[in-house]
Structures are given as C-alpha cells and as structure tokens.
Structure 1
Amino acid sequence: MSDARAHDLVLFGVTGFVGRLTAAYVAEHAPPGLRVALAGRTRGKVEDVRAGLPSAARDWPVLVADTSDPASLAAMAGATRVVVSTVGPYLRHGLPVVGACARNGTHYADLTGEVPFVRRAIDRYDHVARDSGARIVHACGYDAVPSDLAVHVLHRRVEADGAGALRDVRTVATARGGVSGGTVASMRGIVEQAAKDARVRRLLADPYALSPDRGAEPALPQPPDSPLPGRTHDGAWVAASPMASFNTRVVRRSNALTGWSYGRSMRYGEVAGTGRGARGAAAALALTAALPALVGVVALPPTRALLDRVLPASGEGPDEETRRTGRFRMEVHAVTTTGRQYRALAQGDGDPGYAATSVMLGESALALALDGDRLPDRAGSLTPATGIGDVLVGRLRAAGHTYEASPR
C-alpha cells in the first residue's frame, strides 16, 4: 500500500469500552512515527476519549465516520493502511466497514465473536479483498486469538517433530473476568437472529460454518459444542464453554485456509474447566444449566427487558480492579495420527475479554501496520493464525502472554 495515505492505522469505535482500552494500549506501545488516527461517529466524543489517553495520543487526528454513512467509511478506509474496528454488535454495524476496507485495499482487524457476521463478511467481501490485497482479519480478541494461535503453535511443533498430523485436539479453557455491554449486545443480536431465521440456526449448528469450501470438508463428526459435564484425565471437571461455538469454527477455518495442513482428520473441541472435587462438579452442572437458560431469557422480550436492568449497558464494562486481576489459561491436549501426544498452552494476565483483549487487538493492529513483509502471504477473509500467524505469536509473547507446545 502506498505511503501516500495519510495514516498508518485508524482505530474506529474508540468511544466504546474495548475501543478505549485498545487505543490506550496502542498509545503506550506504538513506536514513534507511527501515524495513528482515532475515528468515531461524533467528533466531540472521540476528542474526549483522546484527552484521556496517554500523552503519545495527544496529537492523533480525529476522523468522523459512521457505519450508516458509506461515504464516510470509504474516506476513512482510503486514508489509512489499516483499520481496527471495535464498533459492534458486528452483525448490526460491521459489514459496511469490512466492505469499505476490502474495496480500498485496506487491512482490517476486529474482535468479533459472531459466526453469522463473519460468514456474511466472507460471502460478500472475501473475493473483493483478495483482489485488492486487503487482509480482513476477524476475531482478534479473546474470541478467538488464544484458541487459534495455540493450535497454530501446536501444529508447528508437531510438524517440526515429524509426528504426523493432528487428529484429536481439545482445549480446556479457564478464565476470570467480567462482562461488558458490548458483549451482551452481541449475544442478544445472535439470539434474536436465530429465533427468527432458520438459516441462522442451521449456520450456528454447522461445525464448519466458516469454512472457505464447505463441500470440501471431510465427512467427519466434530465434538459437540455443548457436551455434558465430565472429567479430564487428571480428574478436573469440565463443562460446555460459552465460546466453543465460535472458536472451534475459527480454528477449523484456519485449518482449511492452509489446505487442511493441521490434518484432514482433525477433530477439535473446546470445553470450560470448572475445577476439582465437589465444587468443580457443582460448577460444571451450574454452567451446563445456565447456558441454555441464558439463551432462553435473551430470546423472550419480557425476560430480556428484566435482564437489561442488571447487565452492563453499551459502553460499560468491568472496573479497573476486575480488569487487572483477571486472567485466562487455555490448555490444549492433542493426539497425532502417529499416536504421539502433545500439549499446548496459551495464557495471560488481565481480564480476558477486556485487558487481555486490548493487548491481543492492539498487537494485531501493530502487526498489520508495521510487519507487512513478515506476515503470511495471504489476502481476503482471514483468521489470526492465517492472517498474522507467527508474527502475532511473537508479539504476544513479548507482551507477556504464553504460547508454547511440547510433547507429553
């Protein structure tokens, strides 16, 4: 992309909760000379956010862009090399931004966890982005960077060891953190779409929903997204993970985009770790019951209105103490086609959905803006592993996160 563009990176949606955190992270970690701008619907609100950022952001320009104004999005995308969007729910607001970036050859990253949005972005703009050379990298937050990169690192190690291909892979995720209004709004949007559209329900049930070539996927049953509570090999309790229905699709898309290099027979699942003993068993049962109950509450207008009174509103999120003391850990256990056993680990400090996500999204943004020569030679609708890959692994390790894989 030409240096004639006015900016290297535009952060779009900085008045939102994660948008502010990501802007602060970039301000603290961007090298001198990186041309960063802030964008949002209302200039005054964006300027207020800028005033509260670290001093490096003091002179960052402010752009006005609105997802309902295609001309403003085209102007924003055409003026920069990279757009990072935290404007959600993405199913409602995201496609026009993706389209503007794809048409202008502008790299793009977001932190969506919405399968229907990513599927629509693929169908409408993958070919446009491939033609323009734009990398459209979805899911650059806790959904689904740790899952995607942990399996990527695992594959790299298995490949280096000549141990065959991945066959049975399961991630056990544990986390401590809070929830924001944006997350609530995204969940509501998906539930509401599924309630009224059978096509969305079928998409959400498809284990290969984000495949680049659905017909080429192997006729292979994948682990269920909502398994019954059970115990791991070392006695810990596990239950259905709220993130499994998205993260597993991203990992399978990474496999397919690389020509099924992880393994044509790879079965990949995710569960949530709930602890040991009676307390772990009780937590597993509670989580198993809570997930469908929450969907039911969100789906019905009367109960949804009650829920809105107690959950965070748009722009709100966990307090600083919750963000600081949070953490995530994803332990991946794998068996290869040669029978070898491997373990991978992805973990980091900070509330996973917010403090840790601002690191993941911020480093994704910096990688797209600064590391073009070292990124995978791909364009179009990509995943963190296929769009940024080893570069993002290295950046996150340098930021204090762990990504490692070894034989067991």
Structure 2
Amino acid sequence: MSDAANEPRPYDVVVFGATGFVGRLVAAYLAEHAPADVRIALAGRSRQRLEEVRAGLPAAAHDWPLVTADVADPASLRELAASTTAVASTVGPYLRYGLPLVQACADAGTHYADLTGEVLFVRAAIDAVDARARETGARIVTACGYDSIPSDLGVLLLHERAVADAAGGLLDTTLHARSKGGLSGGTIDSSRAQLEAVGEDRTLRKVLFDPYALSPDRSAEPELGSERDPSSVFTDSETGEWVGPFIMASFNTRIVRRSNALRDHAYGRRFRYREVSSYGRGLRGRRRATLFTAVMGLAFAGLANPRTRPLFDALAPSPGEGPSEENRRSGWFSMKIRTTTETGRRYLATVSAQGDPGYAATAVMLGEAALCLALDGDRLPQAAGVLTPATAMGDALVERLRARDFVMTVDELSDRP
C-alpha cells in the first residue's frame, strides 16, 4: 500500500474551493497558523477570483501557487490530486459536486478531507472509492468540521479512557450540545441537495433514516432496538435538563457508528449513541427547548416541501454567504458526552472551543485535519479507504486541536450526576 505523504509532490496541502465563504476562512487560517515551510496552494474554477482571494489573505499566503480546477473537468481534478499530498475540499453540496474529486484522490493515493454533513454523499463515496483508496493508500476523510469532529473524537476519547481503566465497552452514550453560531447558505444548500435527491429516488429515504447507513457491513451491526434520533422535547433523566433534537444528530451519529464498526466494534458490541440539544433546567429550559424545536421543525418542513421551498429560499442566506466576522468571533460550542461502561463506571467527555462552530471553529478543524493528513503520516492509524476523523487521524488530530485551544477532556463521574 502506497502512502501519498511519502511521494514527492509539489504541494503538501491544496485548498479546493478557496473562493467560497468557508474556503476563504480555511485559507486564512492556514496562512496564519501553518508552519512556514508547508507548501500550500489554492484551487478553484476562476484564476481571477483566486488571485483576489489570495491578495486578501495574510502576507504569508501572497506567494502561494494557484491551481485552476473544476468538478466538471475530470482531467483538471486528476492533475490537482497528483500534485499534492492532501486536499481540503470546501466545494459543496458534496452530493452534487464532491464525487469527482474524491475519485481523483482515491486513484492518485492523495489524502482528502472535507466538511460534508450529507449522509447520502458519504454513502456514495464509500460505494464508489473505498476499495480503490485502500489499494492506493489514500485516506478519504469526510466530516472534518463541526460535522463531525467534536462528536467523533469525543467518543474516541471516552473509549480510550475506558480501555485505560479496564472499564469495559461503552454502553448508552449521549452527546448534549450547546452552541452560539450562525447559518450559511452553503449549509442550507447541502440540506436541499439531499432532499431533492430523495425526491428523485425514494429508495434513498431508507438510507437517510437507517442509523447504520454508513456501516462497512450493515449485516454485522448489533440489534440494539430503536436507534432513532430524538424528535421531541423531553427531560434528560441523567442531567435533569430539557433537551430536544440536535440538527446534526442524523449525520454525526452515523459517523460515530462507522468509526466503531471500522475499529471492529472496539467501542463495544452494545454501544448505543445519540445526540441532543440541551436547553437548561426548569420552566425556562422547557420553553427554550419547545421554541427552538418548533422553529427547527418548521424550517425543515419549509425546505422539504417543494411548494414552500421557494419562499424558504427567498428568506434564507444564499450560498457563499455566512455570519459576519464579529459573529464568527463571538460564537462558541460546547459538547458534553456522557457514557456508562460495561463495568458500571461513568465518564464525561467535554469538547468545546471559542468561535462560531460552523465557521471559525470549523476552519480550524479542517485546516488542522489537512495539516495532519499531510504532515503526520508516521503518527496516524494504519488505515486507508473512506474513513472518519477518529479512524484516519485519531489522537494526532486531538493533539493538534488541543494546541489550538480546543478543550478535549475526559473525567470520571461519581455515582450521582
């Protein structure tokens, strides 16, 4: 098996989609924080727009090479993939535009990281290139932003602590999410792409709602009863807080379960995982949970219904738009992941960071993931194919994020919450 990190190529990292909203944030992050000797290039369809973006980046980026590539031009993607050790792609919706680059990277043995939150895209990538990427040594790593690094690495840390304490496998595990952040047109466009795909092919609905949709072997998954994502407001029995559906749960949970399966169910054969949004205790918590859940339900219904979709599109941000710099700076996220192990011991993982989770913090996560894939080959798990952050990078990425002030800890809980 070859490893792209050991092949002499002109670039270490190429940011594909550098002219988009998130692409510019990732490029700016790398310009400020990547080691000076890392060879970085910017890629996109328009050289003129790439030149404009590069001119607006910190001085360290002003000499970065520019690569013209288009998802509609397979030859340009093959050339891009062959030129670099790793690609960071921000070109979505990935279900519409992502597979050609994934295919090029798998063929070239080039590592790849993206920001997808689309179950249908990840499933399509697994089916299309997993075997090829294993042959070439490419690590095709989806979900390297707020979807789903905090979830995936948080559960990995719980597992590692349980192993270190000889506490047995993980059992019921719940992530409680809190955050302050904005919404971009690109995020909405990704949701729209999946809904449109389901409208055209109703068989895809089964994939979307299967809790093990991303499993490498669906028939090998344990029968644990209902693994449905919560759809209503209720009081969490352990924390006493009012909780409701978490908008990213239907994607993150599939990534975490794939990590468990790719590690031969190392987390445990009875590992059950869910994610919820937390709103606090008492009447105020209940009101917040009810309000936010109702708004989220109405928004989803408006986007899902072809008759109301035009009105929703008129009110929603357009692709390429996102939160202001001030809002990105003032945002934050905090995820608390509680688990009980087979021996009855209980643990709490905390994953949190400052900065709008979908933009400022995500730029850090994707930027560090790309650097990790490009530079940390000898410290990464021995794996190739279509992978998750935990199975592709694991502790090496944890260390990188901690160095960027991400809180990533595990504490043992007492008998009482």
Q: TM-score, normalized by length of structure 2?
A: 0.96
Tell whether 2:406 aligns with 1:362: no
2:262 is aligned with 1:257 = yes
1:190-269 map, 5 Å: 190-232=194-236, 233-269=238-274
AA in 1 matched with 2:324: D
What percent of counterpart residues are identical? 56
Tell me the secondary structure at the aligned position of residue 167 of structure 1.
Answer: strand
TM-fit CA distance, 1:73: 0.2
Structure 1: where are the runs of 5+ without partners?
Answer: none
Alignment match, 1:123: 127
Matches within 5 A, 1:340-379: 340-379=345-384
Alpha-carbon displacement from aligned partner over 1:91-132 (angstroms, at most 9, x marks no partner): 000000100000000000001000000000000100000000
Task: Return the alpha-carbon distance in structure 2 between the equivalents of residues 112 and 8 of structure 1.
Answer: 22
Distance in 1 between residues matched to 2:20 and 2:225, nearest whole Å? 39
Tell me if structure 2 keeps the 8 A contact 1:240–1:287.
Answer: no
* SS of equivalent residue, structure 2 residue 273: strand
Is 1:23 aligned to residue 27 of structure 2? Answer: yes
Shift of residue 291, structure 1, vs aligned partner: 3.2
Instruction: Please give the alpha-carbon distance, in whole angstroms, between the structure 2 residues aligned to 1:333 and 1:33.
Output: 41
How far did residue 288 of structure 1 move?
2.9
Give the match's secondary structure for 1:118.
helix
Quote how far apart the aligned CAs of 1:321 are: 1.2
Report the equivalent of 1:99.
103
Structure 1: how far apart are the matches of 2:380 and 2:36? 21
Residue-by-residue CA offset, 1:24-53 (whole Å, 9 max, x unaligned):
001111111111100000100011111111
Matched, 1:183 2:187: yes
Task: Return the match for 2:159 from 155, 158, 168.
Answer: 155
Q: Secondary structure at the match of 2:18?
A: coil
Distance of 1:125 and 1:226 partners within structure 2:
32
1:34-183 equivalences under 5 Å are 34-183=38-187
Residue 12 of structure 1: aligned partner: 16
> Alpha carbons of 1:289 and 1:196: their partners in 2 closer, same or farther (altered >3 Å)?
farther
Q: Give deviations 1:358-389, integer Å, cap 9, x for gaps.
A: 01001101111111110111000000000010
Equivalent-residue separation in structure 2 for 1:161 and 1:272 (angstroms):
29
Please give the residue correspondences for 1:278-293 in structure 2 after superposition, counting only pairs within 5 Å. Answer: 278-293=283-298
SS at match of 1:366: helix
- Give the Cα separation in 2 of the matches to 1:253 and 1:302: 35
Q: Tell me by how many angstroms 1:222 deviates.
A: 4.4
Secondary structure of the structure 1 residue equivalent to 2:104: helix
1:119 partner letter: R
Deviations along 1:287-327, one digit per CA (max 9) or x if unpaired, are 33333322221123342111222211111100011101110
Give, in whole Å, the separation in 1 of the partners of 2:188 and 2:293.
19
Distance, in Å, in 2 between the alignment partners of 1:237 and 1:382 is 34
Distance 1:9 1:58, change over 3 A: same
Aligned to 1:320: 325
| SS in structure 2 at match of 1:63 | strand
1:330 corresponds to which letter in structure 2?
M
SS across alignment from 1:301: coil
Q: Once structures 1 and 2 are overlaid, which stretch shifts more, 366-375 or 188-197? A: 188-197
Aligned-residue RMSD, C-alpha: 1.1
Q: SS of the counterpart of 1:170? A: strand
Q: Distance in 2 between matches of 1:197 and 1:242?
A: 23
What is the rounded CA distance, in whole Å, between the counterparts of 1:181 and 1:72 in structure 2? 27
Structure 2: any 5+ residue segments left out of the alignment? none
* Structure 1 range deviating more: 280-289 or 255-264: 280-289
- Aligned residue pair count: 408
